[in-house]
A and B are shown apart, each in its own frame.
Chain A
Amino acid sequence: MSQLDHECRCLELSEEDKYALLAEIIEEYEKKESNLIQILHMAQTIFGFLSFEVQKFIAEQMELPISKVSGVVTFYSYFSTKPKGKYTVKVCLGTACYVRGGKKILEKLKENLGIDVGETTKDLKFSLEVMRCLGACGLSPVISINGKIYKRVNANKIQQILKTY
């Protein structure tokens, strides 16, 4: 499990090693159906997203129908079945950020990146998501990129921010 602690280096693993690691995790969770969500979390951490191939692997290992695994994956918005970009841009649409222009920022991001919410740019660099309140309303409107918070953003600043990545 050490590989999953703190800094995840999963993305540097070979495909083969990723599947071996996932198999190990499934064993650790005793292939119990009640642990499926935990296993899916780990799998998404390892692979970045839950492709149909990964779902199939989990279903086979846990002796579950693929429709059950896929049912859970598609139920929760946290799980993604498509690859995520290197950087995830999240726009806060909590009340404070919303009234101070969150919506406009989101529109500008869509325009700049050429993608919709939940999508990823073709070069796999950026994914765009929205979030609800971060608890930083004093800094509103905020966006975050891979966890780094940008405060008092406005539509004009977007291009500049994206350029630094």
Chain B
Amino acid sequence: MINLTINGKNISAEEGTTILEAAKQNNILIPSLCYLEDVHKIGSCRVCVVEQEGAKNLQASCITAVSEGMVIHTNTDRVRKARKVLYELMLSDHPNDCLKCLRNQNCEFQKLGEMIQVDESRFEGAKSKDYIDETSPSIVRDNSKCILCKRCVTICNEVQGVGILNPQFRGFSTEVSPGSELPLGSAACTYCGQCTTVCPVGALQEKDSTKTVWEALLDPNKTVIVQTAPAIRIALGEEFGYEAGTIVTGKMVSALKEMNFDYVFDTNFTADLTIMEEGTEFLGRLLSYLHSQKVIDAGQLKSLGFEPSDSAPVLPMITSCSPGWIKYIEHYYPEETPHLSSCKSPHMMLGALCKSYFAEKLRMDPKNIFVVSIMPCTAKKYEITRPEMVNNGVPNVDAVLTTRELAKMIKNAGIDFASLTDGVMDNPLGLSSGAADIFGAPGGVMEAALRTVYEIITGRELPFEKLHVTPIQGLERIKTAELTVEDAKEEWKFLNGVTVKVATTSGLKGASILVEEIRKGESPYHFIEVMGCPGGCISGGGQPRPTNDEIRKKRIAAIYAEDEGKVLRKSHENPDIVSLYEAYLEKPLGHRSHELLHTHYTKRKKI
């Protein structure tokens, strides 16, 4: 331990701790701006400067480590003056149109202003940038608001390993962009939106869809259907002052009904459906592999409902729920896209069903149905614009709102969220199992798939406590598990002794490690789950700010609580899924499924 003095208080901190962190641990708050716990420490804004006795210059406390005997003052005249000048200079190059900024009241720069108390503007002058980039369907870059903290650069380069955003030009002209002549819409950006979750100001935000949704809601000729992803109900509460990890499913449904959505459906329903389709697809690929190895013959394959295929089976199979991940593999590893499951993501499936199965039930022209998806994700805004996501001439989903946008709309509608009673999702696309809930947590899709696939093969429940495959859960970059089939049902008995190897990862850096293994022919896995954002959907690019590991853990715990609170824990037990197959889809991977629920991928370039 290192002993030091801050503001006359004797404290000790672990070696390597920064002055800022040591102060925080002792309830001394040093104002800071660019610093982001665990992610970004470069000392670029200098707002966190402190005075160290014996040192000539002020020290940026976010990057200066504590040392023995150090005497620090955080609130001297010199520090206060420096901080104020720094703030005023940043302010002089900022539009200061807070009242019409979407980050108003939720802006770190504004909050810092409240702390520093600037009541004059001494440095009026030219503004360095005024460029707004709206070329991406997911993310808007307003460079005029950028304060060059470079958090987005760290997230994009170091955390996600993609490197779309980097500083361009120098000095007063410096800007963060995908390239001096490249708009975001033309860059190989995955639209994961992690940059929007760390931006302290309004420089990086999701592209607004609230206006489009209000228009649809107010249009008397439109039937407006809303669906919510598994990760919304455990995060939305944060926007209304609830503790992270508070489950607000019922209030969320009530709010949506008060906003006049005609039907509130659950993306979780189609998460269950995804398990049926993707689980069957995985078994098909595994059996084709065993067939190609001559472990089973064509007759056995057919008796289990699969057709022998001429092409070599592609294993490992990789999940396809995360559109940021899909865009990543298309740009950076286009040759490996055959590894992707052909399943559309759950909300696209639900959209497709709303405009076919449900439209038929309502005897309604699908053109008059408007589907809105509430997603923890910015890449989903892009996903709905993909030309493949159209059936019978109408797009599967018409608009995507992030969790943050939904919260804004609820406030905008004058709804007192806290006083809402618990509502329930509508039928027939609203019932879901606990397996669907966990889609929102890292490792969840894999666990949900294993719960079903294992039971299909053995007739028994997955042999894990409370059905949780704990080795593949959590925030670690790459997690793996093995499951050996024993005592399989008669028709699956050839699988006895076969060990299925699975891996899960969240964040694109982990994804690139697993895909590199595949590319080199060294991947030991049969089935891989990839989520584009670190921590999966619970900390997606559209989730409430801030998101850090502590908050991630609380949201994950809430997801598992929601799962365990359900009677139905396995996708194949969902009675509405069973009747959907009976009444409409016939069987997983059947003709209608192929048409409505499956897709294909596009090879793209890195630049």
A, B assembled together: yes
Q: Which residues on A are within 8 Å of B, measured CB to CB?
A: 52, 55-56, 59-60, 64-71, 73-75, 81
Chosen A-B contacts, 15 in total, with CB atoms closer than 8 Å, are A55-B179, A56-B607, A59-B607, A60-B606, A66-B178, A67-B166, A67-B168, A67-B177, A67-B178, A67-B179, A67-B182, A69-B179, A70-B182, A71-B167, A81-B181
Beyond A55-B179, A67-B164, A75-B169, 5 additional contacts (C-beta under 8 Å) are A65-B157, A67-B163, A70-B179, A73-B180, A74-B180
Determine the residue in chain B with the shortest Cβ distance to A59: B607
Contact assessment for B164 and A65 in the assembled complex, using a CB-CB cutoff below 8 Å: yes
Across-interface contacts of A67 in B (CB, < 8 A): 163-166, 168, 177-179, 182, 187
Determine the residue in chain B with the shortest Cβ distance to A70: B179
Contact assessment for A65 and B166 in the assembled complex, using a CB-CB cutoff below 8 Å: yes
B211 within 8 A of A: no
Determine the residue in chain B with the shortest Cβ distance to A69: B179
Determine the residue in chain A with the shortest Cβ distance to B165: A67
- What's the minimum C-beta distance from A82 to chain B, rounded to whole angstroms? 11
- In the assembly, what is the distance between CA of A71 and CA of B157, in Å? 13
Across-interface contacts of B177 in A (CB, < 8 A): 67
Q: Which residues on B are within 8 Å of A, measured CB to CB?
A: 157, 162-170, 177-182, 187, 606-607
Across-interface contacts of B157 in A (CB, < 8 A): 65
Across-interface contacts of B179 in A (CB, < 8 A): 52, 55, 66-67, 69-70
Contact count A vs B, C-beta below 8 Å: 53
- In the assembly, what is the distance between CA of A69 and CA of B167, in Å? 10
Across-interface contacts of A60 in B (CB, < 8 A): 606-607
Across-interface contacts of A71 in B (CB, < 8 A): 166-168
Determine the residue in chain B with the shortest Cβ distance to A52: B181
With a 10 A CB-CB cut-off, give which of A65, A66, A67, A75 has the most chain B CB atoms.
A67
Across-interface contacts of A55 in B (CB, < 8 A): 179
Contact assessment for B170 and A74 in the assembled complex, using a CB-CB cutoff below 8 Å: yes
Across-interface contacts of B606 in A (CB, < 8 A): 60
- List the 3 closest pairs (A to B, CB-CB), nearest first: A65-B163, A67-B166, A70-B179
Across-interface contacts of A68 in B (CB, < 8 A): 163, 166
Determine the residue in chain A with the shortest Cβ distance to B164: A67
Determine the residue in chain A with the shortest Cβ distance to B174: A75
Across-interface contacts of A64 in B (CB, < 8 A): 163
* Residue among A56, A69, A75, A81 making CB contact with B170, cutoff 8 Å: A75
- In the assembly, what is the distance between CA of A69 and CA of B180, in Å? 10
Across-interface contacts of A66 in B (CB, < 8 A): 178-179, 182, 187, 607
Contact assessment for B180 and A81 in the assembled complex, using a CB-CB cutoff below 8 Å: yes
Contact assessment for B162 and A74 in the assembled complex, using a CB-CB cutoff below 8 Å: no
Determine the residue in chain A with the shortest Cβ distance to B173: A74
Across-interface contacts of A74 in B (CB, < 8 A): 168-170, 180
Across-interface contacts of A75 in B (CB, < 8 A): 167-170
- What's the minimum C-beta distance from A51 to chain B, rounded to whole angstroms? 10
- In the assembly, what is the distance between CA of A55 and CA of B178, in Å? 13
Across-interface contacts of A81 in B (CB, < 8 A): 180-181
Across-interface contacts of A56 in B (CB, < 8 A): 607
Across-interface contacts of B162 in A (CB, < 8 A): 65
- In the assembly, what is the distance between CA of A60 and CA of B179, in Å? 14
- In the assembly, what is the distance between CA of A96 and CA of B316, in Å? 71
- What's the minimum C-beta distance from A72 to chain B, rounded to whole angstroms? 9
- What's the minimum C-beta distance from A92 to chain B, rounded to whole angstroms? 23
- What's the minimum C-beta distance from A13 to chain B, rounded to whole angstroms? 24
- In the assembly, what is the distance between CA of A73 and CA of B347, in Å? 42
Across-interface contacts of A69 in B (CB, < 8 A): 179
- What's the minimum C-beta distance from B129 to chain A, rounded to whole angstroms? 13
With a 10 A CB-CB cut-off, give which of B157, B162, B607 has the most chain A CB atoms.
B607
- In the assembly, what is the distance between CA of A56 and CA of B162, in Å? 16
Across-interface contacts of B607 in A (CB, < 8 A): 56, 59-60, 66
